Amino acid sequence: MTVYHAPTRDMRFCTEELADLDGISRLPGMEAAEADVVQAVLEEAGRLATEVLAPLNPEGDRNGARIQGDDVHETPGFADAYRQFVEGGWNSLPFSADHGGGGLPSVVSFPVGEIWQASNMAFSLCPMLSQAAVEALIAHGSEALQKTYLPKLISGEWTGTMDLTEPQAGSDLAAVASKAVPQDDHYLITGQKIFITWGDHQMTDNIIHMVLARLPDAPTGVKGISLFLVPKYLVDDSGNTGPRNDMRPVSIEHKIGIHGSPTCVISLGDNGGAIGYLVGEKHNGLACMFTMMNLARLHVGIEGVGIADRAYQRAARYAKERVQGNAAGSNERVTIIHHPDVRRMLMTMKSTVEGMRALCTVAGSAMDFATYSTDADEKARNKARLDLLVPAVKGWCTEEAQQVVSLGVQIHGGMGYVEETGAAQHFRDARIATIYEGTTGIQAQDLVGRKILRDEGRAMDVLIADIRKTVQELSEVDEFGDIERNLHLAVDALESATAFLIENQREDPHTAGAVSYYLLMLTGVTAAGWQMGRSALIARNKLENNAEGASFFQAKIVTSKFFCEHLLSRARAYGDAIAAGSANVMALDETQF
Amino acid sequence: MTVYHAPTRDMRFCTEELADLDGISRLPGMEAAEADVVQAVLEEAGRLATEVLAPLNPEGDRNGARIQGDDVHETPGFADAYRQFVEGGWNSLPFSADHGGGGLPSVVSFPVGEIWQASNMAFSLCPMLSQAAVEALIAHGSEALQKTYLPKLISGEWTGTMDLTEPQAGSDLAAVASKAVPQDDHYLITGQKIFITWGDHQMTDNIIHMVLARLPDAPTGVKGISLFLVPKYLVDDSGNTGPRNDMRPVSIEHKIGIHGSPTCVISLGDNGGAIGYLVGEKHNGLACMFTMMNLARLHVGIEGVGIADRAYQRAARYAKERVQGNAAGSNERVTIIHHPDVRRMLMTMKSTVEGMRALCTVAGSAMDFATYSTDADEKARNKARLDLLVPAVKGWCTEEAQQVVSLGVQIHGGMGYVEETGAAQHFRDARIATIYEGTTGIQAQDLVGRKILRDEGRAMDVLIADIRKTVQELSEVDEFGDIERNLHLAVDALESATAFLIENQREDPHTAGAVSYYLLMLTGVTAAGWQMGRSALIARNKLENNAEGASFFQAKIVTSKFFCEHLLSRARAYGDAIAAGSANVMALDETQF
């Protein structure tokens, strides 16, 4: 029931063929990222996922984290799995060799992350949050803080958290009210944080919290928040853990899913103040937070891929086993995979997962070139592309994941609505993904505001031009006429929508908010459809050259065609909704709702 | 937190303006259905829902039904609520006065049903299933069976169930294996039934099960199943309940939601055979079952409206209360209903709910004219319309309900993913609606097979012609240009898709199955969009004539426009997917999944 196989074949296709692994392996410091090394890493991650993490996934759901006194106790078995995860070097994999990490690029750590999320989403959130804390510490922490905390966070000996949200400050961090008062070499922090993922547990000797709070002299609003490192147990100069800090989990949330991941309410400073250390400059917490958030957003997008693939794998297996009804025009009873409507659902799931995975891997590639390239133009070009893609990866992948996990339930019929098959858990677990690390609305706002209006659509223009090149290539292959037509319509819709936004926002400040969701979905599906178009061209070329594994390439072409006919065809509907503008979105007064 | 207000204003609009309540009240036996009576009935139902059923809804979720020995114990408080429900005459409301019912038409009992489903979905399934059992007994039961069982089922003194599904026979009833052996004046029934909604409880003295089973001389397949009435407690000739029958609940399912509704596995004949009585003719169980199923399908479609409206009401209230972020271009903190993307979500919820409600009420109207009209043409015309609409009502409304309840969670942000706000319960409860009483795939198959291909699209042609009349009327109003354009595109897509199906099914037997889901969605959104177009025309007329309640009519016009711009605009995408046919749906072999 808990079988999961890492989709390493498709991951190799995405990294090697779509995301230029070869080019990335020539970047300084990335030499380890050769194709055969990457393949071995993916296979090995897949093994741990199949053998250790996936079997624990239903246990985390049924026997979730519990709070007792001031301590959260994680699901039995998670601590041992975490030990194996750390001993395998998986926690340090995404970090550069300079910091004791695996020295592998994002284009590899992204699919590895997908494997963790797919096999056990609740578990995987713990290393994911640690990674975000590490990135913030690397980017903004003092040398002293780095020396004390980085090695153990990178190895996984300690875990990290992000403590941003407060009851009155969810999407709106301007309202953060936690206080930090300077004292000696540190600060005393008081306040209450909510929705703290893996905010407490017993798997490691210490937990390092990255906490947003406000200094006494802070200006109001987002420009007055600062970031602090607050360890659960205080650490002395030799790096030994000492007494417990003045912070404690006071409750854990009763959630729809991810029961294995303790979502904590954390109280800081009940006895005078939790000792914390400033990370980065005073009042510059927002910038530090964005370092954490950008990566976390990409990872939540990848989580959408992972949980969707898990649901797809389970549904495909069920559809091959469950006998029900007859084949068309026959009395022979068949497995339900023979029924066209079940096929439609499976193909929707499969093509969505592959489109999402392609998009995420290409975003990882942009991140690698933006980080490691020595060519200033290449660096800047990839940075702009990445910035544009982050909200699409997070927003579109997590929204589409909802549809995929729901289809996973649907294929199971009545058995999908009861808990024993496991389809229900994926459905419940996945629902958080469009909410945390910035809701879909926040991603959409980021896309239209910071990523399109701010540069007057220049990064989007470059993306559109790149897509049009693929449209041109597709037009030269008769067999790909439908892919070409749908991608062409989609990119036209994207261009019109971007122009509509820029033009109308001047006159009507509600335009951006009213069209933002649709523009996010249009960007996501078009960018993913672009990758599916590229995939079809590459697969055709492989087949013509008699490359090994014809079945994979044939399936890739069918899946690409299906994606364009069934998903990309929504692009015009998004475009129509955008062209309608804000008028009817905003027309009612409050009493009319 | 549990406030629910029955949307009686919109219900009156649907019944009086869209569904010809006036015409229905002139049908024989329907004289009671005058507008002021109907309004009073809706208000009174709303009162019971607000005061009794809605407050019990979270209790049913947290403290669901339990099994102990051979007895299921429902949520505390449900028995008292059921008593009030029965004492108010609500159980008998939908039945004709001839049988001791309320004598009100479907166009009234449908919105009343919506009120029950919205206020407490788990509770409302009990009277809904009773109603299905009653309809089967009225249509197919012998006089003796009717005399013994009908009065108490109609009054609500006893409840009824439908026992169709077996582990190997879900969507495919040909595989039903329960056995019925004749003995004296009855049959001895053995077998196991699963997914039996309200299969046992302690709210009434008896439970009447309608059970599908197979006689010893039965042919194989669906033509060999018969329907039996099997009481939990045997009933003597005077109507008194005696000893317990040889049937018992053996377990209840652990489900995603509707925890207040016990979903039972029922074992029949562990000690020799449960005593049952044949309903209708031998081997004709399928026809009897369809009597139950058609009504149950309409009611599950209405359930989609109800649960969606409940989620909408909760989200709208939250959006008016939750302060977060600033108004565009201002430093003033505002409630989130001021944010355009939140507005977009609320408008999507509101317009979907109103489109669904309009469609359901119009289907109820067709049912009333088909049942009570004395004009043979009118009767036949409405029967054909109803048959065409049943799968659209069930399939489209329940699919769209999933999107609405998910938006309800989304508007709550992180608070939506935790259980305390109640948004999560609606999300979990609603997920069953696309599955039971025939999955969406089964509805789609019914639409393309029995409702379109069988009459070569004639009933669909009539629907299309009716919609085109509204398109024509809309084209005469400048203000409604966008509604007209979207409805025009949608009805064109529906016509092309129907033609494509009929033409291609001859050559390719996979066509029907491959396009069926999209044709279902296209039919649903176009038929609902048609009602929203009609609604806009009627509302405009009311405003021009200075009718009372201008705010309602103004809002109706905005909501209709929004529906057409944001939902109906998907019609072309459905059409494109249909035009792609079955090729890429069916191209992969099993190993490629």
ipTM: 0.97
Give pLDDT, residue B243. Answer: 97
B516: nearest CA in chain A? Answer: A341
Return the closest-CA partner of residue A566 out of A400, A397, A351.
A351
CB atoms within 10 A of CB B457: 18
3-state per-residue secondary structure call for B554-588 = HHHHHHHHHHHHHHHHHHHHHHHHHHCCCHHHHCC
Compute CA A517 distance to the chain's CA centroid, rounded to the nearest angstrom: 18
Q: Supply B83's token pair.
A: 């008593």
CB neighbours of B285 closer than 8 A, spacing ≥ 6?
B212, B213, B225, B226, B227
Taking an 8 Å cut-off on Cβ atoms, the answer to whether B254 and A342 are in contact is no
Return the closest-CA partner of residue A213 out of A249, A195, A187, A235.
A187
Q: Supply B452's token pair.
A: 């379109």
CB atoms within 10 A of CB A64: 20
Active-site residue, from A114, A303, A399, A437: A437
In this complex, is the C-beta atom of A424 within 8 Å of any C-beta atom belonging to chain B?
Answer: yes
Taking an 8 Å cut-off on Cβ atoms, the answer to whether A445 and B324 are in contact is no
For residue B374, is it left (φ>0), alpha (ψ between -120 and 50) or beta?
Answer: alpha
DSSP string, B249-264: EEEE--BSS-TTS-EE
**Count of all residues that appear for chain A in the document:** 593
Please state, in angstroms and rounded to a whole number, the distance separating the CA atoms of residues B9 and A431.
33
Write phi, then psi, for A446 (nearest 5 degrees): -60, -45
pLDDT tens digits for A369-385?
Answer: 999 999 999 999 999 99
Banded model confidence at residue B238, pLDDT cuts 50, 70, 90: confident
Banded model confidence at residue B1, pLDDT cuts 50, 70, 90: low
AA letter at B146: Q
Please state, in angstroms and rounded to a whole number, the distance separating the CA atoms of residues B12 and B7.
9
Residues of chain A with pLDDT under 50: none
The per-residue b/e assignment along B73-91, b for 16 or more CB within 10 angstroms, e otherwise, is ebbebbeebbeebbebebb
* DSSP label at residue A255: B
Give pLDDT, residue B160. Answer: 97
AA letter at B106: S
Strand partners, B326: B333
Q: Supply A445's token pair.
A: 């706002």
Strand partners, B186: B183
Compute CA A208 distance to the chain's CA centroid, rounded to the nearest angstrom: 22
pLDDT tens digits for B383-408?
Answer: 999 999 999 999 999 999 999 999 99
Active-site residue, from B114, B437, B484, B495: B437
Banded model confidence at residue B172, pLDDT cuts 50, 70, 90: confident
Return the closest-CA partner of residue A535 out of A573, A568, A493.
A568
Return the closest-CA partner of residue B456 out of B512, B405, B502.
B502
Please state, in angstroms and rounded to a whole number, the distance separating the CA atoms of residues A363 and B407.
27
Which of A342, A439, A510 is facing B413, going by the closest CB pair? A439
Which of A418, A434, A555 is facing B254, going by the closest CB pair? A418
Return the closest-CA partner of residue A487 out of A413, A537, A428.
A537
Between A58 and B332, where is the model more confident? A58
B481: nearest CA in chain A? Answer: A580
Compute CA B367 distance to the chain's CA centroid, rounded to the nearest angstrom: 14
Return the closest-CA partner of residue A113 out of A301, A256, A249.
A301
Please state, in angstroms and rounded to a whole number, the distance separating the CA atoms of residues A104 and A90.
11
Please state, in angstroms and rounded to a whole number, the distance separating the CA atoms of residues B38 and B6.
14
CB neighbours of B157 closer than 8 A, spacing ≥ 6?
B86, B151, B204, B205, B206
Which residues from chain A sit within 8 angstroms of residue B316, using beta carbons? 593
Which residues from chain A sit within 8 angstroms of residue B428, using beta carbons? 256, 428
DSSP string, A226-254: EEEEEESEEE-TTS-EEEEPSEEEEEE--
* Residue of B254, B584, B590, B591 to mutate for A, most A C-beta atoms under 10 A: B584
Give pLDDT, residue B78. Answer: 98
Give pLDDT, residue B524. Answer: 98
> Residues of B numbered 327-346 whose beta carbons fall under 8 angstroms of chain A's beta carbons: which are they?
328-329, 331, 333, 337, 339-346
DSSP string, A323-368: EEEE-TT---EEEGGGSHHHHHHHHHHHHHHHHHHHHHHHHHHHHH
Taking an 8 Å cut-off on Cβ atoms, the answer to whether A586 and B319 are in contact is no
SS3 A194: strand
> Residues of A numbered 114-173 whose beta carbons fall under 8 angstroms of chain B's beta carbons: which are they?
165, 168, 170-172
Question: What are the start-end ranges of the H helices in B88-201?
Answer: 106-119, 121-140, 143-155
In this complex, is the C-beta atom of A181 within 8 Å of any C-beta atom belonging to chain B?
Answer: no
Q: State the smallest CA–CA distance between residue B373 and chain A in angstroms.
A: 38
Asked whether residue B424 carries a pLDDT value surpassing 60, the answer given is yes
DSSP string, A533-564: HHHHHHHHHHHHTT-S-HHHHHHHHHHHHHII
Geometric angle at alpha carbon A485, from A483 and A489, rounded to 5°: 115
Contact B115, B310 (CB under 8 A): no
Contact B6, B45 (CB under 8 A): yes
In this complex, is the C-beta atom of B590 within 8 Å of any C-beta atom belonging to chain A?
Answer: yes
Please state, in angstroms and rounded to a whole number, the distance separating the CA atoms of residues A6 and A367.
23
Which residues from chain B sit within 8 angstroms of residue A343, using beta carbons? 513-514, 585-586
B337: nearest CA in chain A? Answer: A590
Contact B443, B433 (CB under 8 A): no
Contact A128, A299 (CB under 8 A): yes
Contact A438, A394 (CB under 8 A): yes
User: In chain B, what are the domains?
Assistant: 8-155 (1.10.540.10), 159-288 (2.40.110.20), 289-583 (1.20.140.10)
SS3 A271: coil
Longest C-alpha distance within chain B, in Å? 83
A437 carries an active-site annotation: yes
Which of B331, B414, B512 is facing A195, going by the closest CB pair? B414
Give pLDDT, residue A96. Answer: 85
Contact B571, A577 (CB under 8 A): no
pLDDT tens digits for B79-113?
Answer: 999 999 999 999 999 998 888 888 899 999 999 99
In this complex, is the C-beta atom of B430 within 8 Å of any C-beta atom belonging to chain A?
Answer: no
Which of B343, B427, B551 is facing A586, going by the closest CB pair? B343
Taking an 8 Å cut-off on Cβ atoms, the answer to whether A513 and B175 are in contact is no
Q: State the smallest CA–CA distance between residue B237 and chain A in angstroms.
A: 38
B339: nearest CA in chain A? Answer: A513
Contact A260, A64 (CB under 8 A): yes
> Residues of B numbered 207-236 whose beta carbons fall under 8 angstroms of chain A's beta carbons: which are they?
221
Q: Residues of chain B with pLDDT > 90: what percent?
A: 92
Write phi, then psi, for A74 (nearest 5 degrees): -75, 170
Which of B341, B516, B562 is facing A584, going by the closest CB pair? B562
A440: nearest CA in chain B? Answer: B410
